[in-house]
Amino acid sequence: MDLTIPQADIERKARARRFAETVLFPQEVALELNGRLPDATKAMLKQAVIDHGLNAINQAKEHGGQGLSIFQQTLVNEELGKATGALWAVAWHPAIPLRLGTKEQIRDYLVPSCQGRRRGAFAISESGAGSDPRRVQTRADRRRGRYYLTGEKWYVTSGDVADYLIVHAHVDGDPDKPTLFLVDKVLPGVRVKRTPKFMHTYVFEHPEFVFENVELDESKMLGKVGQGFDLTKDWFVEARLQIAANCLGASIRAAEIANAHATERVQFDRPIRDFQAIEFMLADMAVEIMAAKSMVYRVAWEIDHGLDRKLVHARASAVKLYSSEMAGRTIDKALQILGGRGYMRENPVERLYRDIRVDRIWEGTSEIQRAIIGGQIKKRGLGPYVDWA
């Protein structure tokens, strides 16, 4: 078995690292201190994404994307994940379900989204519906051949910069008819209720949207009636793999900073890395990162080589669970090694510490991932997690 990464992919990963270090890192402190970036800076970052070939890495070239495999996307997302303030989000990934749209939807939504002329955001969660999508109250009532969308959505990540939303709703209020709709933000009845502030600093926002009898025709339905949850799960798989890769990158950056500090910081006439307490923390961090990287790379490779769809869902949950919790442990140790310096917002480790906490919550909490994994074990035994094939 050849586990060697092709040279072309190593070079692609290096280019992504240079983009993160030269384009994203210089914006981190200003974003943290001001809470947002000027519009001119956002425009510069958007153009830089295109110039570096990082737009729509998850979509086919025929639609204006980069056509990267899942493994190649993982290598890129690992490097971008090293940036604080979720600056990795400036490199947009149009939602996977869009590629299953009609010719008109691909023309009007997917292609311009890949090119950076449009941007979408997924709207799923609500005040009473998060882990349990059947509790969604947003409904699309069919009347005289049209749909009328009513409801409220929370945590719509990047909803401030999106010009359209992919809304998960129940047709006629029936939880057995989950359906996705493409909703342009300019439509009458679409409004932002509020934009809450969160623990992390994020380059974009997570607004709450209200939909008041928004009129849609059938051309705005993505997929078929009742297909919404399956399409959403496909998006969850992609999002969970991206989160895992981002967590891996964040952990590596924190470990590198802590390792350098442990060499340079002298106390009691010797570098603090010579003290076993510090040495053991660095060792534990290295091993955890190695384990996570092995898991993330393996599953990405398996997906590219035709892993069964049900196993993809099962293993994506394991990858997201382990990587997000590993990042919490690793970055916590890095902060401890840095001491007071690690508690300063000007230090990347402090920002990473806050950034990665949400990774155990969004796109499925750690508890939901454990429930998925437990359910898979109940159905299929331990094979999906302990066998290689």
What residues have CB less than 8 Å from 219, skipping those under 6 apart? 102, 104, 105
pLDDT interval class at 234 (50, 70, 90) = confident
Domain count, the chain: 3
- Of 290, 300, 356, the C-alpha closest to 76 is 300
- Of 13, 3, 2, 1, the C-alpha closest to 68 is 13
pLDDT interval class at 111 (50, 70, 90) = very high
Q: In this structure, are 38 and 159 located in the same domain?
A: no
Q: In this structure, are 361 and 254 located in the same domain?
A: yes
Q: In this structure, are 179 and 311 located in the same domain?
A: no
Q: In the listed set 200, 226, 252, which residue is the last one of a domain according to the structure? A: 226
For residue range 1-44, what is the model confidence (pLDDT) as tens digits?
688 999 999 999 999 999 999 999 999 999 999 999 999 999 99
Q: In this structure, are 33 and 106 located in the same domain?
A: yes
pLDDT at 310: 86
The pairing of strands 266-267 and 190-194 is unpaired
pLDDT at 285: 98
Q: In the listed set 85, 115, 145, which residue is the last one of a domain according to the structure? A: 115
Domain containing residue 162: CATH number: 2.40.110.10
- The DSSP-derived string for 31-59 is HHHHSS--HHHHHHHHHHHHHTT-TTTTS
The boundaries of the domain holding residue 109 are 7-115
Domain for residue 1, yes or no? no
Domain containing residue 363: CATH number: 1.20.140.10
Q: In the listed set 86, 115, 144, which residue is the last one of a domain according to the structure? A: 115
Distances (CA, A) of 48 to 10, 174, 248: 21, 44, 23
Domain for residue 288, yes or no? yes
Per-residue pLDDT averaged across 352-359, rounded? 98
pLDDT at 309: 87
64 backbone φψ class: left, alpha, beta (φ>0; ψ -120 to 50): left
Q: In this structure, are 139 and 87 located in the same domain?
A: no
Q: What is the CA radius of gyration of the chain?
A: 21
Q: In this structure, are 170 and 238 located in the same domain?
A: no
Reduced to 3 states (helix: H, G, I; strand: E, B; else coil), residue 267 is: strand
pLDDT interval class at 389 (50, 70, 90) = low
What's at 270, amino acid-wise?
Answer: R
Per-residue pLDDT averaged across 258-268, rounded? 97
Q: In this structure, are 195 and 239 located in the same domain?
A: no
What residues are labeled active site?
A: 363
Domain for residue 207, yes or no? yes
